[in-house]
Amino acid sequence: MSRAPGPSRRSVQEAQMTHPNTESTAFRSALEVVRGVEPRVADAIGAELRDQRESLKLIASENYASPAVLLAMGNWLSDKYAEGTVGHRFYAGCRNVDTVEALAAEHARELFGARHAYVQPHSGIDANLVAFWSILAARVEAPALQRAGARQVNDLTEADWEELRRAFGNQRLLGMSLDAGGHLTHGFRPNISGKMFEQRSYGTDPETGLLDYDAVRATAREFRPLVIIAGYSAYPRLINFRLMREIADEVDATLMVDMAHFAGLVAGKVLTGDFDPVPHAQIVTTTTHKSLRGPRGGMVLCDDSLADQVDRGCPMVLGGPLPHVMAAKAVALAEARQPAFRDYAQRVVDNARALAEGLTRRGARLVTGGTDNHLVLLDVSGYGLTGRQAEAALLDAGIVTNRNAVPRDPNGAWYTSGVRLGTPALTTRGLGTAEMDEVAALIDGVLTRTAPGTTKSGKPSKASYVVAEGVAKQTADRAAELLAGHPLYPGLDLA
């Protein structure tokens, strides 16, 4: 595979801020233009940068995009309609859109070793919808066309369409349950994925919290799904995708992997062999932000068997592509092909392990007892708190996290019993394992000195909380000291 052009090795901070004076001028000028129309929007943008600079960001699904990625989104490509694919548009004048989309797809194929890449999805959910309908089109639509003697969908009669609609609505999906670490789009009933398919979930072992592949196999044999989804948003261990493909093949299912959370670890070659989904799954979806550190958006990778269907994502389920975001995806994927990104990805995992070890040493209870990837799932019931109380108390202290269900959570998906922690963003800022241990101490210090509040009737509350006096400010001050040594976008000055 060819490598992206550029210097052989750059630090994370250098990758973020290549030309600080030029970038400061660019962002200051942009905000001045915005301020001339709606100053409150300009103020909010500036305030967001200040907030992100001043807080310990531990949300596992968030990161910091480089100035180059951010700037690639604010341009005239935003004004162009470009339904279709490269070279096959339904609108004229798309040659520049073709250029950026082709570059983004090329970088994606080279970065992940994929046969085909589709970079139009606006989000991870959109990418999953494209994958679902591509699988259905390949597995259900094609036989229907053959039975009808039709060459394309437009040739089907109304009776053919009725048969096709029944077939589309009679398929089965097997995915990881939400409380075990799966995602809403993996068959959760209120989500469209749970409405499109007859759905069943697989969970984790009650004792270890780990995936039980024998149990997944048994469920697949009994349920006989058309699609098996692997991937997670809150599972702190690795998945053996070779075994998942064996299970899928055994029941003639298509293996779909949602790697939105750990795509950066795949791109950075931290996850290889059985733990790299791309060689094993017929179709892989991802977001382009999170650990991949790009713009908010989605992407689909697939083998040759699904490429034609995937490229019909627009108009199948997507609206017009967002050319300015595809340009930013191309920039981010080019950044991820640099050698420095591999170092970054490895340090994300090293930092997550250090954070887990620091919490465990202080008596915290972690789901599965630790981590092998970028996230840590902290069971806060040991502190006598709900996830909602813990999340809010930590935010008061300058530590940004998100509450998350734990397996078989007694508090449900709203209040939860867990807090999810992730290291991609702080690793981008340059924090290392020593700082992660101190972050663990700060988290534990807040939670041990937080107590549940009470309702108006005097009963224990699942939402309100009381932090011991002075703890929030003391923690926020120490967090600010930690962050001062690792400035966000060093040299970028909006003043």
Q: Say what the pLDDT of residue 16 is.
A: 52
Mean pLDDT lowest for which of 106-110, 174-178, 220-224? Answer: 174-178
For residues 112 and 266, the answer to whether their CB atoms sit within 8 Å is: yes
Beta strands 116-118 and 298-302 are antiparallel
Asked if pLDDT for residue 493 goes beyond 70, the answer is yes
Identify whether residues 263 and 398 lie together within a single domain: no
Any catalytic annotation for residue 83?
yes
Exposed / middle / buried, residue 163 (Cβ in 10 Å: 0-12, 13-18, 19+) = middle
Query: Would you say residue 73 lies in a domain?
Result: no
Same domain, 111 and 240: yes
Assess whether 429 carries a catalytic annotation: no
For residue 404, being part of any structural domain is answered with: yes
- Choosing from 57, 139, 217, 290, the catalytic residue is 290
Candidates 28, 80, 81, 437; catalytic one: 81
252 CB-near residues (< 8 Å, 6+ apart): 224
Residue 290 annotated to the active site: yes
* Residue 467 near residue 446 (C-beta atoms within 8 A): yes
- Within this chain, do residues 293 and 344 fall inside the same structural domain, yes or no? no
Residues 6+ apart with CB under 8 A from 43: 35
Q: What is the mean pLDDT of the chain?
A: 91
Burial of 322 (C-beta count, 10 Å sphere; 0-12/13-18/19+): buried
Kindly state the helix (H) or strand (E) to which residue 331 belongs, with its residue range: helix 323-336
Considering the domain architecture, whether residues 329 and 347 belong to the same structural domain is answered as: no
* CATH code for position 475: 3.90.1150.10
Instruction: Answer yes or no: is 280 within a domain.
Output: yes
In this predicted model, what pLDDT tens digit does every residue of 438-464 receive, in sequence order? 999 999 999 999 999 998 888 889 999
Identify the weakest region by mean pLDDT among 8-12, 245-249, 303-307, 482-486. 8-12
Domain boundary, last residue among 299, 315, 336: 336
23, 126, 141, 258: the active-site residue: 258
Banded model confidence at residue 151, pLDDT cuts 50, 70, 90 = low
Share of the chain above pLDDT 70, in %: 94
Question: At 149, which CATH number?
Answer: 3.40.640.10
Cβ-Cβ contacts under 8 Å for 458 (sequence gap 6 or more): none
Predicted pLDDT of residue 3: 42
Looking at residue 127, what is its pLDDT?
Answer: 95
Range of the domain at 461: 339-484
Q: Are residues 107 and 129 part of one domain?
A: yes
- 332 and 343, same domain (yes or no): no
| pLDDT for position 12 | 46
- In a domain, residue 14? The reply is no
Same domain, 395 and 327: no
349 and 236 inside one domain:
no
Specify the amino acid at residue 488: L
Q: State whether 265 and 387 are in the same domain.
A: no
Whether 10 shows a pLDDT value over 50: the answer reads no
Confidence at residue 252, expressed as pLDDT on a 0 to 100 scale: 95
Q: Which of 317, 336, 355 is the last residue of a domain?
A: 336
Residue 51 is among the residues annotated as catalytic for this protein: no
Domain co-membership, 401 together with 451: yes
Query: Residue 489 catalytic?
Result: no
Residue 133 belongs to some domain of the structure: yes
- State whether 316 and 356 are in the same domain: no
Clarify whether residues 154 and 209 are in a common domain: yes
| Concatenated DSSP letters of 189-233 | TTSHHHHHSEEEEE-B-TTT--B-HHHHHHHHHHH--SEEEEE-S
pLDDT above 90 coverage of the chain, percent: 79
Single out the catalytic residue among 28, 53, 242, 296: 296
**pLDDT grade for 160, boundaries at 50, 70 and 90:** confident
Q: Which helix (H) or strand (E) holds 193?
A: helix 192-196
Per the structure, the count of domains in the chain is 2
Query: Of these residues, 54, 62, 83, 106, which one is catalytic?
Result: 83
What are the tens digits of pLDDT across the range 400-414? 999 999 999 999 989
**Residue 1: which pLDDT band, with cuts at 50, 70 and 90?**
very low
Q: State yes or no: is 157 an active-site residue.
A: no
Does 322 map to a domain? Answer: yes
**In this predicted model, what pLDDT tens digit does every residue of 96-108 receive, in sequence order?**
999 999 999 999 9
pLDDT at 141: 76
Lowest-confidence segment of 164-168, 201-205, 430-434, 472-476 by average pLDDT: 164-168
| Among candidate residues 298, 316, 336, the one where a domain is terminated | 336
